């Protein structure tokens, strides 16, 4: 190991997207290796709007492994994180940078300590799968730094051991996590079904719902479901295998009606399993239910579904619209039913791809106040408005997989290896 001086810092910076499952993973057959009881399918979200950036650095000058998340130092002792680290380190290869005179032999990697800095471009606590993007980014960046020869699928099997859903963030577009059969988990990997360009009409609107209660974590929630729910077994054995085949076909043919029907049904069944758990788990709240009923009412008033909705282990709604025109109509409805508090700036209430606001025809709060009631509710009881129930909306689309960024975008100082 070494170079002309022992002061060098070698680093890699990467960006990794988050993903939303349209066929949910819920339940493990192996807690330690994180092996699921069913396949799952997800859509990768555009990293321009939701992503994690991670810099991993190595230097003979580092005296211990250290990590910073959003600028704050955090512990690296978690078992899952250590599993990923062990898996990656054991696969490290020889590395040489002739120009800088750095040479690291395979065996030397074990002796070198790491500095890791990670940053989410969206609120970590908003329940938007930050751990999936975070772990996938750590695995992807470190694999590059350690000069691993493994492909994305093999890396997905390592990310999986950090958090199940993280394995699907190794690819862009539409991704399937194959549950696998092997006891050692070697065939429990993610594969890409189609890239993000395959179906680029889709527009995704996320309602970040104001949550007052603390949720049950996915990890403990699914453990409880496996122990106490009878529905989960039926779901994993009878329902999901058929749905996965149908969902793959819907994605391949860009058949939005089937896609929406399957995604909504699967989200609803996942939450039914949560309710079937003892004690019952309530991830959705009143606002989530109001959003479902708004979308369902609209979908039923049209000849075919316009929007799909799906909810993970929290109250936030992820809605997938057929195209931009439908997304604008959706946002119009959402802003009508869920206007912000009067003192809110519209610019901070709708974030991500804001250009969609032009299609909605709103420029400021006055325009939001004047939005007409959606035609499908006109003749019914007076339409309900729930001011302040949604914290903000994020407009995005299906997006690309992980990418390596340039050193100028690094989160660590190239000389000290400490956060910039
Ligand atoms: C509802 O991947 O967070 O989002 O594997 O225990 O870390 P662990 O769980 P996690 O569970 C995600 C559950 C879900 C559905 C999904 O993403 O498929």
pLDDT single digits (tens) 18-33: 999 999 999 999 999 9
Burial class (CB in 10 A: 0-12, 13-18, 19+), 253: exposed
C-alpha–C-alpha distance, residues 298 and 126, integer Å: 27
Q: What integer is the mean pLDDT of 164-183?
A: 98
Does the structure show a pLDDT above 70 at 378?
Answer: no
Of the pLDDT bands very low, low, confident and very high (cuts 50, 70, 90), residue 4 is very low
The rounded percent of the chain whose pLDDT value lies above 70 is 95
Cα 307 to middle of ligand 1, angstroms: 23
Q: Tell me which residue has its CA closest to atom 3 in ligand 1.
A: 218
**Residue 281 beta carbon below 6 angstroms from any ligand 1 atom:** no
C-alpha–C-alpha distance, residues 107 and 414, integer Å: 24
**Residue 38 beta carbon below 6 angstroms from any ligand 1 atom:** no
> Which pLDDT value is given to residue 214?
66
Give, for ligand 1, the residue of 80, 164, 179, 232 to mutate: max count of ligand atoms closer than 8 Å to Cβ.
164
Of the pLDDT bands very low, low, confident and very high (cuts 50, 70, 90), residue 296 is very high
Q: What integer is the mean pLDDT of 87-113?
A: 93
Q: What integer is the mean pLDDT of 162-176?
A: 97
Q: What integer is the mean pLDDT of 318-324?
A: 97
C-alpha–C-alpha distance, residues 265 and 23, integer Å: 9
Does the structure show a pLDDT above 50 at 191?
Answer: yes
Cα 215 to middle of ligand 1, angstroms: 13
**This model's pTM is above 0.85:** yes
- The mean pLDDT of the chain is 93
Cα 236 to middle of ligand 1, angstroms: 15
**Residue 218 beta carbon below 6 angstroms from any ligand 1 atom:** yes
Cα 217 to middle of ligand 1, angstroms: 9
> Which pLDDT value is given to residue 362?
92
C-alpha–C-alpha distance, residues 112 and 385, integer Å: 57
């Amino acid at each position: 190991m070494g170079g002309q001086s022992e002061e060098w810092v070698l680093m890699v910076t990467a960006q990794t997207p988050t993903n939303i499952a349209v066929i949910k993973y819920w339940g493990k057959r192996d807690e330690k290796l994180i092996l699921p009881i069913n396949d799952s399918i997800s859509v990768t979200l555009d990293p321009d709007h939701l992503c994690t950036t991670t810099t991993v650095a190595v230097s003979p000058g580092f005296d211990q492994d250290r990590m910073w998340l959003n600028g704050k130092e955090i512990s690296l002792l978690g078992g899952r994180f250590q599993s990923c680290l062990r898996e990656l380190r054991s696969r490290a290869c020889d590395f040489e940078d002739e120009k800088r005179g750095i040479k690291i032999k395979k065996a030397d990697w074990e002796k070198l300590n790491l500095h890791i800095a990670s940053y989410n471009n969206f609120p970590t606590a908003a329940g938007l799968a930050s751990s999936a993007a975070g772990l996938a980014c750590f695995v992807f960046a470190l694999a590059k730094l350690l000069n691993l020869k493994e492909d994305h699928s093999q890396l997905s099997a390592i990310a999986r051991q950090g958090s199940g859903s993280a394995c699907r963030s190794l690819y862009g577009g539409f991704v399937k996590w194959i549950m696998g059969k092997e006891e050692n988990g070697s065939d429990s990997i993610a594969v890409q079904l189609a890239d993000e360009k395959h179906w680029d009409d889709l527009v995704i609107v996320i309602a970040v719902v104001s949550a007052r209660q603390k949720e049950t974590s996915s990890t403990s929630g699914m453990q409880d479901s496996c122990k106490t729910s009878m529905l989960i077994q039926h779901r994993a054995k009878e329902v999901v295998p058929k749905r996965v085949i149908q969902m793959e076909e819907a994605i391949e043919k860009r058949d939005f009606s089937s896609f929406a029907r399957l995604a909504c049904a699967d989200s609803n069944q996942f939450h039914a399993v949560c309710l079937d758990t003892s004690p019952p788990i309530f991830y959705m709240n009143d606002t989530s239910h109001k959003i479902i009923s708004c979308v369902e009412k609209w979908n039923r008033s049209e000849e075919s579904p316009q929007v799909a909705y799906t909810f993970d282990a929290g109250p936030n709604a992820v809605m997938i619209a057929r195209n931009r025109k439908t997304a604008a109509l959706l946002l119009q409805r959402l802003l009508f039913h869920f206007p912000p508090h009067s003192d809110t700036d519209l610019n901070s209430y709708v974030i991500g791809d804001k250009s969609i606001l032009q299609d909605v025809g709103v420029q400021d709060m006055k325009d939001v106040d004047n939005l007409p009631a959606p035609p499908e509710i006109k003749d019914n009881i007076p339409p309900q408005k729930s001011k302040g129930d949604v914290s903000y909306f994020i407009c995005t689309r299906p997006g690309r997989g992980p990418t390596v960024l340039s050193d100028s975008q690094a989160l660590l100082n190239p000389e000290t290896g400490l956060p910039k």
